Chain A
Amino acid sequence: MAVPGLRHHREDARGRGLNDTGIQNIQGNHACAVAAVAAGCRFFAGYPITPSSEIAERISVELPKAGGTFVQMEDEIASMAAVIGASAGGIKAMTATSGPGFSLKQENLGYAAGAEIPCVIVDVMRGGPSTGMPTRPAQGDFMQSRWGTHGDHACIVLAPWSVKEIYEQTVRAFNLSETLRVPVIVLYDEVIGHLVETLDPGSVDTGEITTRKWAGGDPAQYRPYACGEDDIPPMARPGDGYRSHTTGLTHAENGFPSQDPTTVDRVARRVLGKLARHNDLVEQVDCYDLDGAQVLIATCGITARAAKSALRLLQDKGIAAGLFRPVTLWPFPEESYREAARGKQQILVPEMNAGQLIYEIQRLTPPGVPVAGFNRLDGEPITPRQIAERVEELLNHD
């Protein structure tokens, strides 16, 4: 199966590989860049920051080959503004950064959410806050990714755990962003971003590439934020003759500012409700060994890979544990979690931060079922053994 982007790897281009199947060793950040181009991204504006810089570096090479544009901007604020502008101009657009840069993008991310401009933002998490440990991993942006921008807003956050999944979820980020007119954040830690794994293009599953719904019909009747049953307004493609107005102010269906309480409430509820309405597209979880498990481990990213290995270590000791991994981290897959947690005696939330995901887990866990954390703040990944030992410790305390 041909997977766009993956066959243009340097080794393949040199044509001397002993291996001519397209299988290659590729870094997570590079997989993100080639996946974006494969998904139809034709504009990238960014400001390099460790550990995300390889995305900008790679896409600066790939985009011109695909007829796209790469711009290194003066800072992250301008990068996000440029991405919104490009997308409003009808082009699939992306930026990539790490925690501190992500903070700078938050104001404009609010604009994208409010004006329903499709865009993809990649945040490769490092040790923080501030300059912190640029080359070391952390998972400190779980909450920033959902709540970093201001006001009530809709956004989707996807959390891959491998190089292959970075490719798949980057494509999915564009598809969701375009289909639902919502900013989509691809969130992963430095370990996954810098990890190089052997990728078989035949194993990559991205499905169809989708593009936003364009305005059709009589241009004179077009209202930029009017929509049908699906709650997603079609966008005016520049050059098609549709007049459109875009603003960061609350607006009516005609796109112009409005503070009429009835209108503001109606539009706000549609925008905030559209993800729930399309939950079949949005939600994705990955679960292991849930049946009969007494312990449930809930986590994502590299920590989830440690947890999956820990399941086997625990099994060897006669402890039945399962793993719940939200691939779509936000909106949090509430019902799937409740289902996974059913009948469990202990929940463990390991994460490379002081405790963020645990708040969501505590909120959704039935009363009486203990929820414990395991947290590393030292720039080192959590190991399978540490997770297994923490589970044993928790069970022994009972």
Chain B
Amino acid sequence: MTGLQIRFSGSGGQGLQLAAKILGHAAMLDGKSIAFSQAYEPTARGGLSRADLIVGGGEIDYPLVTALDYVVILDDVAVTASDGLLSSASTALVDVERVTKQPGGGPEVVALRLIGTAREAGNVRAANIVSLGALAARAGIAGHDCLVEAIRQSVRKEFVAFNLEALERGRALLEAPAEKPAPLGACR
């Protein structure tokens, strides 16, 4: 089967791999099957980083993404990386600070303060978990209890509480938007 296709993308070091790993773990805890693949550059930080997840109900035939249902983009460096994988049926959750370009293929673009929200929560490095919260609110994928459990099992004990807060703040961005999401590049 093909399953739901999801990508976290941005610049190396933004925690995209961990976000996808946690979502994959949550989906597994929720009784689903996943295939998780990644691509990053040989450098420790910077450059294009992408983490792809296919979530299905049974054995997944082809484990790499071919048509994304959802993409999270946290940096301009990743905008063109999904060319050919997006269409009008796709949804792109993009960060308003670091993404100024329009993803190709005509997806629905939802611009959110992902990095800004993490900064307000106390650590910009939690932008990955804020994104995870927003994506989960939008796409479902795994039950909330499974997401919380996946975070508990995947991050160091001292960071669990902070990450759970980041998850909630991410959810809040889409679940009950306090204001209309800012247009692309609005914060620049």
Question: Which residues does chain B contribute within 8 Å of A17, judged by CB atoms?
Answer: 29, 149, 153
| B140-187 with Cβ < 8 A to chain A | 145-146, 149, 152-153
B63 to chain A: which residues have CB within 8 Å? Answer: 162, 191, 195, 197, 302, 305
Q: Is the CB of B153 within 8 A of A305?
A: no
Give B7 Cβ to nearest chain A Cβ, in Å: 15
Residue B21 CB within 8 A of the other chain: yes
Annotate A22-42 by CB proximity to B: 1 below 8 A, 0 otherwise. 011100000000000000000
Across-interface contacts of A11 in B (CB, < 8 A): 25, 153
- Chain B hits for A305, CB < 8 A: 61-63
Q: How many A-B residue pairs have CB under 8 A?
A: 77
**B103 CB-CB contact with A under 8 Å:** no
In the complex, whether B133 has a CB less than 8 A from a CB of chain A is: no
A309 interface neighbour in B34, B35, B62, B149, Cβ under 8 Å: B62
B28 surroundings in chain A (CB, below 8 A): 19, 23-25, 198
Contact: A196 with B153, CB < 8 Å? no
A344 within 8 A of B: no
Q: In the assembly, what is the distance between CA of A11 and CA of B152, in Å?
A: 10
A381 to B37, CA, bound (A): 12
Q: Are A197 and B35 in contact, CB atoms less than 8 angstroms apart?
A: yes
Q: Does B66 touch A at the CB level, under 8 Å?
A: yes
Given the complex of chains A and B, what is the CA–CA distance between A385 and B42 in angstroms? 28
Q: Which chain B residues lie closer than 8 Å to A162 at the CB level?
A: 63
- The majority secondary structure among interface residues of chain A is mixed
- Asked if B33 is at the interface of the complex by the 8 Å CB criterion, the answer is yes
Q: Does B83 contact A (CB under 8 A)?
A: no
Given A134, A191, A384, which contacts B37 in the complex, CB threshold below 8 Å? A191
Q: Which residue of B lies closest to A381 (CB)?
A: B64
Interface contact B149-A16, CB-CB below 8 Å: yes
**B21, B34, B62: which contacts A198 (Cβ < 8 A)?**
B34
Query: Which residues of B are found within 8 Å of A23, using beta-carbon distances?
Result: 28
- In B25-59, the 8 Å CB interface with A consists of 25, 28-29, 31-42
Cβ contacts under 8 Å, B60 to chain A: 197
Size bin of chain B's contact surface = 20 to 34
Decide if B24 is an interface residue (CB 8 Å cutoff): yes
Given contacts A196-B35, A197-B34, contact A383 B29 (CB under 8 A): no
Q: Does A308 contact B (CB under 8 A)?
A: yes
Q: Is the CB of A25 within 8 A of B41?
A: no
* Contact A385–B146 (Cβ < 8 Å): no
- State which size class the interface on A falls in: 20 to 34
Nearest A residue (CB) for B55: A198
**In the bound complex, CA of A397 to CA of B32 (Å):** 43
- Quick one: which of B24, B29, B32, B62 contacts A306, CB cutoff 8 A? B62
How far is it, in angstroms, between the C-alpha of A255 and the C-alpha of B61 when the chains are bound?
Answer: 49
Chain B residues within 8 Å of A, Cβ to Cβ: 21, 24-25, 28-29, 31-42, 60-64, 66, 145-146, 149, 152-153
The distance in angstroms between the C-alpha atoms of A308 and B59, with both chains bound, is 13
CB pair B38 A194 closer than 8 Å: yes
Q: List residues of chain A with CB within 8 A of the CB of B35.
A: 195-198
CB of A136 within 8 A of CB of B39, answer yes
With A18-B29, A24-B28, A191-B64 as given contacts, are A135 and B149 in contact (CB-CB < 8 Å)?
no
B61 adjacent to A308 (CB under 8 Å): yes
The 9 closest A-B pairs by CB, nearest first: A196-B36, A309-B62, A198-B33, A18-B29, A25-B28, A309-B61, A19-B29, A198-B34, A197-B35
Q: Which residues of B contact A50 (CB under 8 A)?
A: 42
Whether A19 touches B31, Cβ cut-off 8 Å, given contacts A196-B21, A309-B61, is: yes
Q: How close is A140's CB to chain B, nearest CB, in angstroms? A: 18
In the complex, which residue of chain B has the Cβ closest to the Cβ of A14? B153
Beta-carbon contact of A383 and B153 below 8 Å = no
By a CB distance below 8 angstroms, the chain B residues around A385 are 66
**Which residues of A (141-194) have their CB < 8 Å from a CB of B?**
162, 191, 194
Nearest residue in A to B63 (C-beta to C-beta)? A195
CB distance from A258 to the nearest CB of B (A): 49
CA distance A194 to B31 in the complex (A): 22
Closest to B32 in A: A198
| Contacts known (A17-B153, A24-B28); A195 close to B61, Cβ less than 8 A | no
Q: Chain B residues near A18 (CB, 8 Å)?
A: 29, 145-146, 149
Q: Mark interface residues in A238-267 (1 if CB within 8 Å of B CB, else 0).
A: 000000000000000000000000000000
Provide the residues of chain B in CB contact with A16, threshold 8 Å.
149, 152-153
Interfacial chain A residues near B149, Cβ < 8 Å:
16-18
Report Cα–Cα, A385/B28, bound state, in Å: 28
Give the complex CA separation of A347 and B145 in angstroms. 50
Considering the chains assembled together, what is the distance between the CA atoms of A24 and B42 in angstroms?
Answer: 28
Q: Which residues 303-337 of A have a CB within 8 angstroms of B?
A: 305-306, 308-309, 312
Of B39, B145, B146, B149, most buried by chain A (CB within 10 Å of CB) is B39
